[in-house]
Chains A and B, each alone.
Chain A
Amino acid sequence: MITRSDHKGVLVCGLNAAAQKAGLHGGMRLSDARSILPDLKDSPEDAELCDGKFARLVRFMDRYSPWIAPDRDLHARGLHGDAGMWLEITGGSHLFGGESAMIKQILRDMKNQGTAARAAIADTAGAAWAAARCHPGASHERILSLPRDHGVAAGFPVSCLRLSDDIIAVLARLGLKQLGDITPLPRANITTRLGPDVLHRLDQFYGRLPEHLNFELPDAPWLIKQSFGEPLGSADTLAHAIESMVADLCAKLRSDNLGLRRLLVRAIRVDGQTHTITTTTGTACQSESHILRLLAEKMPGVDTGFGIEQVIVYAPWVEHVAFRQVRLDRKNDDSSDAIALAQLLDRIAHHLGPKDILYRPAHHASHLPERAAIRQSPTGPPKLARLSDAPLPKRPVRLIDPPEPVDVIERSATGAPTKLRWRKMILEVLRADGPERICPEWWGYLDRDNYALSQMTRDYFRICDQQGRMIWLFRSGHAGQDIWSVHGLFAG
């Protein structure tokens, strides 16, 4: 049993079949559940694990339809330990041998994935939701065709209308327990007594009102799917298939003057495992050669296993491509510097490790040296590399960030260091220039008083040691308890 803790206490949010048979249900308290089943084993809910598992299931089901809409309301409530999704299969069931065979195959695949599932096919999303839970037929015969199966639908409980618990309680008090009890009633009376939700859901159930589902894929996806009668057993044939599909996708994008920013390539094996390659570009890209070069770096990680039976190439993020001059010989000017530089940055970005960074320097209006220099994306909207209205004083060529502590051994009467120890070296200060006082931005510390801000004030000195190095160090902290740190080095 899975439990979840909230302000009401520890609640049950996931049950196995044995617990359900014993009468436990989602949303009840753990103490109540233990009173029914004292030997109950429970573990706390791992929301991230559940979300990841459900996301994998959604991706897995796209072999049946690209139109998949997770049941977000149910997922949000989540106290009943179940989740759901809709598949838009209009015109596609014959590919799997009919509706009944399709349900069988879906249930078999879900079982292989280790998930207990119920499936139903109906004319509307609301009817499918209800039939999956309340249809009395066998598991592969839950097909609800409303004009024909009106009698079956009339026997569904009112809870299949996805109403709130309060409304269901009111309906139960009134003796309205099934859909067949509600449909003969005058509509005006239902709205007056129970509000608009009941009729709204009822009309959606019977298809009199549309129901908008949030599909995972957009309305006009740039998606190419290819199924193979003979599974692809080698990486070379897979690469060849992806190459042709990417070329087709880029041709479609070019015809609409679009370029992709992100591309998903999903290879589905015969044993149900999927391998997804994601690649992102810095600018809108229409060049299949560039995309294939990016994909080639990740292709060695694809395990074809017993064979790839389906490949999906999908561009979830496309952008309009700015107009470019076309050469007189009718060839696109792909060799222009901007495109070539963007493609170079893409290649580098794909090669970088998790800690590696690629950026353009930019200037931020801050007095603190480490905050004044910020990093901006090399392909993002440009910012000023140097604010022209903020003239900078002399700054070091190399900045040590974070600053390194240094021991000041001797100081002059003016407070400037004359002898110090840094990196186990004794430095004799021949010349010192300063101090240059740098205060933290007061607007960032409105909750602190002047005394607290004074500790963060830095007095910078430029010193020249006996080796001829120009070192930038600063003093901070309380008066009499100075903390000295080296922050950079000058070149002259």
Chain B
Amino acid sequence: MSEERIHQARAALARAEQHWKVQVSCLSGGADGVIARAFGDTFLGDHISIGGLAPIGLHEVLCGHDDCAASLLAWYLATVSGPDAASPEVPKGIFWIRQRRALDQGGFYALSLPMAAMKPEPLMMAVDQQATALWTCEEVAKSGQVHAVILETTDYDLTTARRLQLACESGGARIIVLRPLARDGRIPTSSAWTRWQITPVNALSSPGPSTGRPTGNDHYLSLIGGRGVRPGSWKVKTDATTFSLSVADPLENRLSADIPKDRHAHA
């Protein structure tokens, strides 16, 4: 009897280990992890190919300085597929939920999306209450009828983050949350798979040609935390016309000194 139990326990452990390996292979911070895959050789091409981003799960984009670049990054993260992901026969769309006044730089302007992003047409929603936004996000993610949900909301607690994570796993969807930073710059607690931040490069430090057209598309993209993630930062160029990012200068771990010391505890 005891041997049988031990055998069952070993089998359960093997299954768990196998499951853990699959996840870690996607998101580990090592040489084969998300950082190397996402911002390695592929990243140095014209566009980012985040092959390591978990297709199912909660991801956060923290908004501090530039909500527009954060919106672009959220759309990019929501639409990017892994290198091995087979495209579904009928592509599923994006569901964008906006809680009014969560971010203070206006609402997402759908006509800024490139033509290709309109197939299938995204679903948009604007609500007043955070409870409605969170309920809708959970319901949509659980339904499995959309590829990803982008949620603009105010601060929420760890329990809510875990509920959203469970909804993702239940419906096989990806949730990208646009979450404002605290006023003191503190990074809020969360259980998201990955957490990103994008900030514009200070124009004073790189004024560019004085007579040229304004660029304003140089940003620092930071992977600031997550599960099994090694933080890093890269200088990227955003292209709002095609809603894409491209690497300008890889500066891995540049922000390691800027990120709060309790980062690992939160992550």
Contact = CB atoms under 8 A, between A and B. Distances in A.
Interface string A330-372: 0000000100110011011001110111111101000001001
A269 to B, nearest CB: 32
A430 B204 CA distance: 8
B202 A469 contact: no
Contact of B214 (A360, A399, A464): A464
B128 A353 contact: yes
B68 A491 contact: yes
Interface stretch (B161-169, B232-240, B253-261): B232-240
Interface string A430-463: 1111000000000000000000000000000011
Interface in B106-157: 106-112, 115, 118, 121-129, 132, 135-136, 139-140, 143-145
Contacts of A463: 214
Given A464-B214, A491-B217, A386 B115 contact: yes
A357 B97 CA distance: 10
A337 B90 contact: yes
Given A468-B216, A468-B218, A396 B126 contact: no
B65 interface: yes
Contact of A386 (B65, B105, B111, B135): B111
Nearest to A336: B90
B215 interface: yes
A378 interface: yes
Interface stretch (A57-65, A224-232, A251-259, A387-395): A387-395
A345 B123 CA distance: 10
B209 to A, nearest CB: 9
Given A360-B122, A385-B118, A398-B67, A470 B202 contact: no
Contacts of A388: 115
A149 interface: no
Contacts of A396: 68, 106, 109, 112
A488 interface: yes
A398 B106 contact: yes
Nearest to A430: B203
B71 A467 contact: no
A366 to B, nearest CB: 11
B110 A373 contact: yes
Nearest to B145: A341
A236 interface: no
B122 A491 contact: no
Contact of A489 (B67, B115, B128): B67
B111 A492 contact: no
Interface in B236-255: 237-241
Nearest to B206: A468
Contacts of B69: 491-492
A351 B136 CA distance: 8
B201 interface: yes
B66 interface: yes
Contacts of A469: 65-66, 68, 200, 216
Interface residues of A, number: 54
Contact of A398 (B71, B121, B128, B219): B71
Interface string A455-492: 00000001111111110000000000000000011111
Interface string A303-332: 000000000000000000000000000000
Nearest to B89: A337
Residue picked from A341, A382, A388, most chain B C-beta under 10 Å: A341
Nearest to B212: A431
A431 B213 contact: yes
Nearest to B209: A431
A401 interface: yes
A470 B214 contact: yes
A361 B112 contact: no
Contacts of B215: 431, 464, 492
A400 interface: yes
Contact of A353 (B67, B111, B132, B208): B132
A375 interface: yes
Contact of A490 (B143, B208, B212, B240): B240
B185 interface: no
Contact of B72 (A378, A488, A491): A491
Interface string B165-195: 0000000000000000000000000000000
Given A462-B214, A466-B202, A360 B124 contact: yes
Contacts of A433: 213-214
A369 B112 CA distance: 10
A369 B109 contact: yes
Contact of A400 (B106, B112, B123, B239): B106
A409 B179 CA distance: 33
Given A470-B214, A492-B240, A357 B110 contact: no
B111 A373 contact: yes
A136 B240 CA distance: 83
Contacts of A492: 69, 72, 215-219, 237-240
A385 to B, nearest CB: 4
A433 B92 CA distance: 38
Given A337-B145, A369-B109, A492-B217, A348 B66 contact: no
B71 A397 contact: yes
Contacts of B123: 345, 358-360, 378
Contacts of B203: 430-431, 464-468
A363 to B, nearest CB: 6
Nearest to A342: B145
A378 B125 CA distance: 10
Nearest to A340: B145
Contact of A361 (B121, B140, B201): B121
30 contacts: A337-B92, A340-B145, A348-B136, A356-B128, A357-B126, A369-B109, A373-B110, A375-B124, A378-B123, A394-B240, A396-B68, A397-B68, A397-B72, A399-B106, A399-B107, A400-B105, A431-B215, A432-B214, A433-B213, A464-B214, A466-B203, A466-B204, A467-B202, A468-B65, A468-B200, A468-B203, A470-B68, A489-B67, A491-B69, A492-B237
Q: Which 5 A-B pairs have the closest CB atoms?
A: A492-B217, A468-B200, A431-B214, A361-B110, A492-B238
Interface of A: 337, 340-341, 344-345, 347-348, 351-353, 355-361, 363, 369, 372-373, 375, 378, 382, 385-386, 388, 392, 394-401, 430-433, 462-470, 488-492
Interface of B: 65-69, 71-72, 90, 92, 103, 105-112, 115, 118, 121-129, 132, 135-136, 139-140, 143-145, 200-204, 207-208, 212-219, 237-241
Given A344-B145, A353-B127, A398-B106, 20 more contacts: A352-B127, A356-B125, A356-B132, A358-B125, A359-B124, A360-B124, A361-B121, A396-B68, A397-B71, A397-B112, A462-B214, A465-B203, A466-B203, A469-B200, A470-B68, A488-B106, A489-B66, A491-B68, A491-B217, A492-B240
